Amino acid sequence: MPVQRHTIAEVLAEAQARLRRLTPKEAVLASRQGWTLVDVRDSGAIARDGAIPGAVEIPLSVLEWRIDPASDTHLAALSGKEEHLVLICQDGYSSSLAAVRLHEIGFRNTTDVIGGFRAWIAAGLPVE
C-alpha cells in the first residue's frame, strides 16, 4: 500500500494552524510576562546577523534534548522556564515545525514568531 505524501507547505500550514503564533512585538511583550524567547538559528547566522538580547540560543538539532528536564543534556538556563517558550528562527518556518514537535512531547505552551528574525529586524527590535 503506497504511503500518502504531503508537501512541506502542507505540513507547515498544519503546524502553524496548531499554534497561536506571535508577531515580533507580541514576543517581546510575552518575554516581559515571563515567557522565554529561544533562538533556534544556527551559530553562524547568529554571529553574522546578531543575537537577540535575553534569548536562549539552542540549535534546532538538539532543541528537544535541551528543553526536556528529563534529558541528561537539559539546559540549566531553562530550569523552571520550559512551560512558556517562544521560538524564533530565521524566517518563521522551522520554528513552527519545532514548536509542534515540542507540543508532541508535552510542552503545549510553546509557540513561535511570525516571520522569524527577519521580521524581528523589520520591526526595529534590538539585536546585539
Is the residue at 2 inside a domain? no
The grid coordinates of residue 83 equal: 512551560
37 forms beta bridges with 86
Q: Where are the beta strands (DSSP E) in the chain?
A: 36-39, 56-57, 85-88, 110-112
In a domain, 30, yes or no: yes
Q: State how many domains the chain has.
A: 1
Confidence of residue 3 (pLDDT cuts 50, 70, 90): confident
**Residue 54, domain extent:** 8-122
Look at residue 18 and tell me if it is in a domain.
yes
77 is a domain residue:
yes
Q: Does residue 104 lie within any of the structural domains?
A: yes
Q: What is the pLDDT of residues 12-44, one digit of tens each?
A: 999 999 999 999 999 999 999 999 999 999 999
Q: What is the pTM of this model?
A: 0.93
Please give the share of the chain, as a percent, with pLDDT higher than 90. 91
**Does some domain include residue 59?**
yes
Report yes or no on 12 lying in a domain: yes
In a domain, 55, yes or no: yes
CATH number at residue 47: 3.40.250.10
User: Can you tell me the distance from the alpha carbon of 98 to that of 103, in angstroms, rounded to the nearest whole number?
Assistant: 9
Work out the pLDDT band at 57, boundaries 50, 70, 90. very high
